[in-house]
Amino acid sequence: MTISVGEQCPEFKLTAVDGKPFDKINIDNVFTTLTDKSFEGKWLVLFFYPKDFTFVCPTEIAAFGELNEDFQDRDAQVLAASTDSEFTHWAWRKHQEELRDLPFPMLADIKRELSTALGILDQNEGVSQRATFIIDPGGIVRFSMVTDLNVGRNPKEVLRVLDALQSDELCPCNWSKGDETIDLHQATAA
């Protein structure tokens, strides 16, 4: 069962390929260990994808990379994750042009512990489902979405939801940052 909104994000300690520019990364500084506490005080956008060296996954990862500064402007750290090893992540980054300068870490959940704890391990394929979580600075899951393994997600929608969560207001359908929110006092008076 997928972890529910309002629940604490599970603890984790995973090896990752660091999110440094390709020309500043080498075998001595490519890997890092990250935990659920590594970005304390920040929002986390944690997204899982099924496998490295596939077809849909790099389109999503690159799209999140293109929006990374927008997420950073909102004090949010993006983390990508799959059940592949850190070595596979590194090899893929080196050989997939649009991933070379990926600005955020790629977590290696090779023991499938985090995927299992989040309830997103696909039992038929043995890989993480295509899942996205927005976790607030207190470690509480505030948004989760899981799609079919064959269907890519929309990182702009994840950014829109982050904006809505950070507004701490009632946000109507299709609300975007800068739009009017719902004033509960006016809505009940009408």
Active site positions, annotated: 57
Half-sphere exposure of residue 123, counting CA atoms within 13 Å on the CB side? 3
Q: Quick one: angle between helices 155-167 and 57-66, nearest 10?
A: 50
Whether the CB-CB separation of 77 and 68 falls below 8 Å is answered with no
Cα–Cα distance for residue pair 84/176, rounded to 1 Å: 35
Cα–Cα distance for residue pair 149/68, rounded to 1 Å: 23
